[in-house]
Amino acid sequence: MQFRTITASIVGALLAFGCGEDKVEIKSPISTANAAGEIRVVGSSTVYPFSTKVAQEFKNKTGYNVVVESTGSGGGHKLFCEGVGADTPDVTNSSRRQKKSEFDKCTKNGVTDIVEVKIGFDGIVIANARSSAKIDVTLKQIYLAFAKQTPKSDDDCTLESNPNDKWSDIDPRLPNVTIEAYGPPPTSGTRDAFVEIAMDGGAKKITCLAALRKQDKKSFKAIARTLREDGKWIDAGENDNAIVQTLVNTPSAVGIFGYSFLDQNADKIKGALIGGVKPTFENIAGGDYPISRSLYFYIKKANVATTKGVKEYALEFTSEEAWGPGGYLEEIGLVPLPDDVRAQYRAAVENLTTYKQ
Amino acid sequence: MSAMAKTSIHQTDLARKRLARRKAKEKRFRYAGVTAVVIAMVMLGWLVVSLVGTGYTAFFQHYLTITVTLDENILDPNGARDADQLRKANYRKIIQQALYARFPEVTYRRSKRALFQIISASGATNHVRKMVYQDPNLVGRELTIVVPVSDDVDQFLKGYIDRKAPEELRRVSDQQIAWVDQLVTSGELVRKFNWRFFTAADSRDPELAGIAGAVVGSIMALGVAFFLSVPIGVGAAVYLEEFAPKNRLTDFIEININNLAAVPSIVFGLLGLAVFLNFFGLPRSAPLVGGMVLGLMTLPTIIIATRSALRAVSPSIIDGALSLGASHTQAVFHHKVPLAASGILTGSIIGMAQALGETAPLLMIGMVAFVTEIPTNIMEPASALPVQIFLWSDSAERAWAERTSAAIIVLLIVLISMNAIAIFLRSRLERRW
């Protein structure tokens, strides 16, 4: 008897979940009963804010539901490349270009036609508290500050563990402050981009390492991209707001994160000049600021036919109203591409032109 | 009676010293206990005060009343009044023109852009868009709408942006402050209770974001978890405790259950991904799968709690039942389980409360997602409350800070109510014997 009541209540509750009331909102053109009806976007947490903004505007305009997951660039490519069909993601966001290995995995799983779309730039800043000393460094100095092992001198590539304790040890003109950096962990795309652009770029400025790069790219990368493990570089987790807070509380420290967090917290922190260039919107857009990376998304062409609205979503993303100068993505911190590059990728979306690695 | 002449062993100096030492020890222990409680309370109080301190402002939002002209030339140049075409029309321009009409003295392009930034662009355009979509005949008419201001202006009015700070360090310019002040004085810009926070789904714009989608997702997932793990958990516990033979196999099962209770929750997420999504092909991001994963996660907790509740029932009750001729099954179901019910319920509710706060297992099955619609059934994509908090806390805009705290307050209130229900049920169902 009691058991029957319980069963009845279970069934009742499930039914109640099943038949929610119709909402007054604008009706969607697609049946919500079909679980695969919505557009699926996965990938980078850096592109996530832009992707969600487009998803929201796109839904308002057309009623298509877009579900955006924040899985990280690597996780996004992994899911994206699992295969084609309604139960796989239609689009993946990436804060770096798709790697060869990822492309190959895609091909192996039947995801052969992929449209690559570059959407804009994002600057990576080195920032410290407003009250602290101004930092003006070159890429080479960044390398010397954060690398695990550094060469003895420009011409002698004998490696020693990084002897620099203070910024002024690298160059007397830099502040007399202990080096202490809070940066993104290895899982983060920001970290990948930082070591690739800033650390590689800095190591290249050292004569003997530049020579090594020509002979043996692999060992050059190992030397350039390995960050210190003596407590001067601290993996601070994925939450950039937490790094900003740490900088305010620890005036001697610097933090490494995306430009939009500097933009939002200009009253608390300031960005270090890199090679004399200030991290500003204009400098990143103009390509003068050296540590900036491109952001991408990738469309699975096979899914354009099976999932309604994928192409339209990509068209909304690449419309001038969205990614153009003065568009709604610029308002939330995306640095637009130059006109001709935008036109090129817009055409790629319109014609669904696939790309090759 | 010669003993009377001697001093009692309790009266010797040595004994007195020992007694004093023992009493001092007891006193010290009591003080240590009080200190521990005080420290715990202070920390908890600190957490709550800082959360409420930063979060309470999110329950209010500033709104601007503005009159817009639904210009036919902009919205529907062909005069077709086709709803789908009207939906895609340029509402941004309508809002911009309404603002320029309100401040006709603004002529420079830069200033016009700054002026547009005081209103929630997405909120205003979508508000008008919805109205026109539902009633295309509104085109050509004038409309007075009440829409949220942008997150920056809202933060400024809430005092999070210092008016006296140098202009280049503020996200709100001097000019924008002047406009806002003017609108506040004229009563066009007012503070209201932020109902949207409780009724809307997630949004990219802090001023439009709400927790309803996440709360509904959490409730659905918890519902599934409850109906999955409580019957199975209680059934398994009753069988293992009362009917299963005691041998190596059951010992092995018991060890495994205890181990599972301590397994990191992300492991259950991986299991969910491999089994429910990849093998059974259930949809990603669905509360059904989330609930199943959370259910698996709480299963060991419920089994352990149920077994200890059953063990706590006095054996004399079972003995009494058996001696009066009840079968073993009858004794268990008529007497032992009802008496253990309060313990079982408490264990289940605490297990559920734990599941409510989990994010890690949901990551793998795709519930760490941006979903703009409130889910209506358990197969639709949804997010969950702790996930929402996690995603908001990682966003750049300053306004997310207060909203994150506010969402945490809501989560804490739900957790406290669940625990309160557990305590209430325990005191109601508990029977003394």
B304-328: per-residue pLDDT in tens?
Answer: 999 999 999 989 999 999 999 999 9
Query: Based on the domain organization, do B298 and B421 belong to the same domain?
Result: yes
In the listed set B162, B193, B224, which residue is the last one of a domain according to the structure? B193
Query: Based on the domain organization, do B132 and B250 belong to the same domain?
Result: no
Query: Based on the domain organization, do B151 and B250 belong to the same domain?
Result: no
In the listed set B158, B193, B228, which residue is the last one of a domain according to the structure? B193
Q: B49 lies in a domain?
A: no
Determine the pLDDT at residue B184.
94
Tally of domains in chain B: 2
What is the DSSP-derived secondary structure letter of residue A36? G
What is the arithmetic mean of pLDDT over B65-83?
A: 86
Which among A168, A119, A192, A16 is positioned nearest to A345, based on CA atoms?
A: A119
**Cβ–Cβ contact B345 with A under 8 A:** no
pLDDT digit string, tens, across residues B135-156: 888 888 898 999 999 999 999 9
Q: B52 lies in a domain?
A: no
Tokens of B256: 């495994």
Determine the pLDDT at residue A4.
46
Which among A24, A36, A48 is positioned nearest to B200, based on CA atoms?
A: A24
**Residue in A25, A57, A87 nearest the CB of B122:** A57
Residue B381 and residue A65: Cβ atoms within 8 Å?
yes
Q: B40 lies in a domain?
A: no
What is the DSSP-derived secondary structure letter of residue A41? E
Determine the pLDDT at residue A25.
41
B residues 172..191 contacting A (CB < 8 A): none
Mean pLDDT of chain A: 85
What is the arithmetic mean of pLDDT over A159-173?
A: 89
Q: B260 lies in a domain?
A: yes
Q: B404 lies in a domain?
A: yes
Q: B242 lies in a domain?
A: yes
What is the DSSP-derived secondary structure letter of residue B162? -
Query: Based on the domain organization, do B174 and B291 belong to the same domain?
Result: no
Residue B274 lies in domain: 212-429
Determine the pLDDT at residue B139.
87
In the structure, what pLDDT confidence band is assigned to residue A72 with cuts at 50, 70 and 90?
confident
What is the arithmetic mean of pLDDT over A210-237?
A: 88
User: Residue B168: its chain A contacts at CB < 8 A?
Assistant: 266
Query: Based on the domain organization, do B183 and B299 belong to the same domain?
Result: no
Sign of the Cα pseudo-torsion (B428, B429, B430, B433, in order): positive
pLDDT digit string, tens, across residues B101-128: 999 998 888 888 889 999 998 999 999 9
Query: Based on the domain organization, do B395 and B257 belong to the same domain?
Result: yes
Query: Based on the domain organization, do B371 and B407 belong to the same domain?
Result: yes
Query: Based on the domain organization, do B181 and B250 belong to the same domain?
Result: no
Q: B67 lies in a domain?
A: yes
Determine the pLDDT at residue B6.
64
Which among A217, A262, A213, A257 is positioned nearest to A239, based on CA atoms?
A: A257
**Domain containing residue B351: CATH number:** 1.10.3720.10
In the listed set B166, B193, B220, which residue is the last one of a domain according to the structure? B193
Query: Based on the domain organization, do B405 and B278 belong to the same domain?
Result: yes
Query: Based on the domain organization, do B295 and B370 belong to the same domain?
Result: yes
Mean pLDDT of chain B: 90
Predicted structure pTM score? 0.84
What does the alpha-carbon distance between residue B184 and residue B182 come to, in Å, rounded to a whole number?
Answer: 5
Determine the pLDDT at residue B350.
87
> How long, in residues, is chain B?
433
pLDDT digit string, tens, across residues B376-406: 999 999 999 999 999 999 888 889 999 999 9
- What ipTM was reported for this prediction? 0.83
Residue B369 and residue A70: Cβ atoms within 8 Å?
yes
User: Residue A25: its chain B contacts at CB < 8 A?
Assistant: 130, 373
User: Residue B381: its chain A contacts at CB < 8 A?
Assistant: 38, 65, 67
Determine the pLDDT at residue A136.
92
Percent of all residues in chain B with a pLDDT value above 70, rounded to a whole number: 98
Query: Based on the domain organization, do B173 and B79 belong to the same domain?
Result: yes
User: Residue B394: its chain A contacts at CB < 8 A?
Assistant: 45, 238-241
Q: B2 lies in a domain?
A: no
Percent of all residues in chain B with a pLDDT value above 90, rounded to a whole number: 60
Name the range with the highest mean pLDDT among A265-269, B54-58, B87-91. B54-58
Query: Based on the domain organization, do B177 and B94 belong to the same domain?
Result: yes
In the structure, what pLDDT confidence band is assigned to residue A214 with cuts at 50, 70 and 90?
confident
String of DSSP letters for A230-283 = SSSEEE--S-HHHHHHHHHH-TT-EEEEEHHHHHHTTTTEEEPEETTB---HHH
Q: Angle at which helices A48-62 and A310-317 pack, to 10 degrees?
A: 120
